[in-house]
Amino acid sequence: MSALLSVQDLRVRFRTMGPIKALAIGTKAPFIDAVCGVSFEIHKGETLALVGESGSGKSTIARTIIGLQRAVSGSISFDGQELTELSAAERKPYLRRMAMTFQDPIGSLSPRLTVRSLLTEPFRIHGLKDRDAGAEATRLLRMVGLPADFVGRYPHRLSGGQARRVSIARALALNPDLIIADEPTAGLDVSVQGEVLNLLTRLQDELGIAILIITHNLNVVRHITDRMAIMYLGRFIEVGSTERIFHQPRHPYTEALLAANPEPDPDAVINRIELMGDVPSLMRRPSGCEFHTRCRYAQDICSHVFPEPTASREDAHHSFKCHFPLERETPMRLEQRRLSLAGPLRK
The CA distance from 136 to 54, in Å, is 36
Nearer to ligand SF4, 194 or 307 (CB): 307
Burial of 304 (C-beta count, 10 Å sphere; 0-12/13-18/19+): exposed
**SS3 labels along 17-60:** CCHHHHHHHCCCCCEEEEEEEEEEEECCCCEEEEECCCCCCHHH
Say whether residue 230 binds ligand SF4 (CB under 6 A). Answer: no
Nearer to ligand SF4, 45 or 288 (CB): 288
Coil, helix or strand at residue 319: strand
Nearer to ligand SF4, 30 or 325 (CB): 325
Nearer to ligand SF4, 227 or 250 (CB): 250
Closest approach of ligand SF4 to the CB of residue 51, in Å: 16
- Which of 118, 258, 282, 298 touches ligand SF4 (CB under 6 A)? 298
Nearer to ligand SF4, 266 or 277 (CB): 277
Say whether residue 98 binds ligand SF4 (CB under 6 A). Answer: no
Which helix H or strand E contains 221, and what residues bound it?
helix 218-224
Nearer to ligand SF4, 122 or 249 (CB): 249
Say whether residue 295 binds ligand SF4 (CB under 6 A). Answer: yes
The CA distance from 339 to 344, in Å, is 9
CA dihedral 321, 326, 327, 332 (to 10 degrees): -120
Closest approach of ligand SF4 to the CB of residue 202, in Å: 38
- Which of 109, 275, 291, 341 touches ligand SF4 (CB under 6 A)? 291
Tell me which stretch binds ligand SF4 (CB under 6 A): 35-43, 125-133, 141-149, 285-293. Answer: 285-293
Of 318-347, binders to ligand SF4 (CB under 6 A) are 322-324
Coil, helix or strand at residue 292: coil
**Degrees, nearest 5: CA angle 177-181-184:** 140
Given phi > 0 = left and psi -120 to 50 = alpha, else beta, which region is 126? alpha
Task: Count the Cβ atoms, other than its own, within 10 Å of residue 259.
Answer: 18
Give the distance from CA 135 to its chain's centroid.
32
Side chain identity, residue 69: Q
The CA distance from 318 to 310, in Å, is 8
- Which of 243, 286, 297, 333 touches ligand SF4 (CB under 6 A)? 297
Say whether residue 302 binds ligand SF4 (CB under 6 A). Answer: yes
Reference 84, options 72, 93, 101, 96; nearest CA is 72
Q: Applying CB under 6 A, what is the total number of residues that bind ligand SF4?
A: 13
Tell me which stretch binds ligand SF4 (CB under 6 A): 30-38, 113-121, 212-220, 297-305. Answer: 297-305
Say whether residue 235 binds ligand SF4 (CB under 6 A). Answer: no
Give the distance from CA 207 to its chain's centroid.
20
Of 245-284, binders to ligand SF4 (CB under 6 A) are 251-252
Closest approach of ligand SF4 to the CB of residue 33, in Å: 19
Contacts to ligand SF4 by CB under 6 A: 251-252, 289, 291-292, 295, 297-298, 302, 307, 322-324
